[in-house]
A = this chain, B = another copy of it.
Amino acid sequence: MDLNNLTNQPGEWLKGVGPEVDIVISSRIRLARNVDGYPFLTTAKEEEKRELLEVILRQLRKLEARREGEPPLMFLNLNEVSHLDRLFLVERHLISKELALGKGDRAVVLDSEESLSIMVNEEDHLRIQALCSGFQLNSLWEKIDRLDDEISQLLPYAFHKDWGMLTACPSNVGTGMRVSVMLHLPALVMTHHIDRVFQTVQKINFTVRGFYGEGTQALGDFYQISNQITLGRSEEDLIKSMQELIPQIVKYERTVRHSLLDEKGVELEDRVWRAYGMLKNARVISSKETMDLLSAVRMGVNLNLIDEVNVRTINELFIQTQPAHLQKLEGCTLPVDERDIRRAAYIRSRLN
């Protein structure tokens, strides 16, 4: 298995299948875990990190043997992965920017369907992530819970009977779980109703983040909603809150889309087609502009305002026009100016 094989597929998270997928791009659960008997990475020495990595990978390889009938795993030592490939993995939401840009002994274990990733020596010893297209938290929870049990049999976790899972940052103590849902909310952005969503979400202790998670900008009208609290609530309880919250936002976005269609149908159509026209004709285009235009076209496809392109192509373009993806497609690293030209050419080749 080779990273290059991933280049031509949109990845699990932009596959475009699953419930509510017109608005809910993907669901994700990640668990922060630490191995008992080792110091947290905030204080660990280089030798301890190296040993940890060896121990963890050795145990995870045992896991692989047990995964009969499931997608094969890929073990990547981040020090042996090029800078470009590391950014590529960030763009696919398989590793964090911190792991990609970090130093020292660290790794990621992925499955070939990109529905699973285990970061080793990120902020915690282990960051186990399960990802799927659309809105399906129950099956995701079952899957990651089972995996978590299996790993815990191989690697005893740092655990406190009152506090629960112990983590490097206190904000993760307890369940160590973060449930995130990526939403596409162009109509709420267009009408500025998004601000009300932000306020409501924050009031009930959820957070809203941009396309690449913590501290990143919203791009292409994509927003990640996730829980802020990990302590004092069970995993099932957290998932239940999310299952109550997300459908309300989805409904809100749909309502606003339809009232836009009713009241400003032609302006909406104009916006969608102009975005499509720009994508089809630009000769220089930034990653940000691409995302914004694709966002408008994506909504247009979902509202049947445009039929010249399908949602799969749009989803693929979202990921394949990202800087690292584009450079991998072109087979070389490129300066920003040149990327903007090649990006425009690539988009044209896909849309024409």
Closest chain B residue, CB of each to CB of A306: B281
Instruction: Give the residues from 272 to 291 in chain A that come closer than 8 angstroms, CB to CB, to chain B.
Output: 273-274, 276-278, 280-285
Which residues from 101 to 153 on chain A have a C-beta closer than 8 Å to any C-beta of chain B? none
> Is there a chain B Cβ closer than 8 Å to A344's Cβ?
yes
When distances are taken between beta carbons in the complex, the residues of chain B under 8 Å from A276 are 281
Residue A336 CB within 8 A of the other chain: no
**In the assembled complex, A36 has its CB within 8 A of some CB on chain B:** no
Asked whether, in the complex, the Cβ of B281 is within 8 Å of the Cβ of A269, the reply is no
Contact with B along A145-186 (1 / 0, CB 8 A): 000000000000000000000000000000000000000000
Residues of chain B within 8 A (CB-CB) of A285 are 270
B270, B280, B284: the one within 8 Å of A277 (CB): B280
The answer, among B270, B282, B283, for a CB contact under 8 Å with A284, is: B270
A267 CB–B CB distance under 8 Å: yes
Do B266 and A273 touch (CB < 8 A)?
A: no
Q: In the bound complex, do residue A341 and residue B281 qualify as a contact, i.e. CB atoms below 8 Å apart?
A: no
What is the chain B residue whose CB lies nearest that of A279? B277
In whole angstroms, how far apart are the Cα atoms of A273 and B282 in the complex? 6
Chain copies in the assembled complex: 2
From B273, B280, B281, B283, give the contact of A283 (CB < 8 A).
B273
- Across the two chains, which residue of chain B brings its CB closest to A273? B281
Expressed in whole angstroms, the Cα–Cα distance for A282 and B272 within the complex equals 9
Closest B residue to A337 by beta carbon equals B266
Report chain B residues within 8 Å CB of A270: 282-285, 344
Bound-state Cα–Cα, A84 to B276, Å: 35
Q: How far is the CB of A352 from chain B (nearest CB, A)?
A: 11
A267: B residues at CB distance < 8 A: 284
The interface residues of chain B lying within 8 Å CB-to-CB of A269 are 283
Separation of A266 and B285 alpha carbons in the complex (Å): 11
Residue of B nearest to A275 (CB): B281
A288 to nearest B CB, angstroms?
Answer: 16
**Restricting to A249-281, which residues have a CB under 8 Å from any CB of B?**
266-267, 269-270, 273-274, 276-278, 280-281
Q: Which of A269, A270, A285 has the most CB of B within 10 A?
A: A270
Taking CB atoms, residues of chain B closer than 8 Å to A273 are 281-283
CA distance A270 to B269 in the complex (A): 23
Q: How far is the CB of A269 from chain B (nearest CB, A)?
A: 5
Q: How far is the CA of A203 from the CA of B79 in the complex (A)?
A: 69
Instruction: Give the CA-CA distance A341 to B267 in the complex, in Å.
Output: 9
Q: Shortest CB–CB separation between residue A294 and chain B, in angstroms?
A: 15
The docked-state distance in angstroms from the alpha carbon of A274 to that of B282 is 5
- A123, chain B: closest CB distance, angstroms: 42
Q: 11 more A-B contacts (CB under 8 A) besides A273-B282, A280-B281?
A: A266-B284, A266-B341, A269-B283, A270-B283, A270-B284, A274-B277, A274-B278, A274-B281, A274-B282, A277-B277, A277-B278
24 A-B contacts (beta carbon < 8 Å)? A266-B283, A266-B284, A266-B341, A267-B284, A269-B283, A270-B283, A270-B284, A270-B285, A270-B344, A273-B281, A273-B282, A273-B283, A274-B277, A274-B278, A274-B281, A274-B282, A274-B283, A276-B281, A277-B277, A277-B278, A277-B280, A277-B282, A278-B278, A280-B281
Q: Which 6 A-B pairs have the closest CB atoms?
A: A277-B281, A277-B277, A270-B283, A273-B281, A270-B284, A269-B283
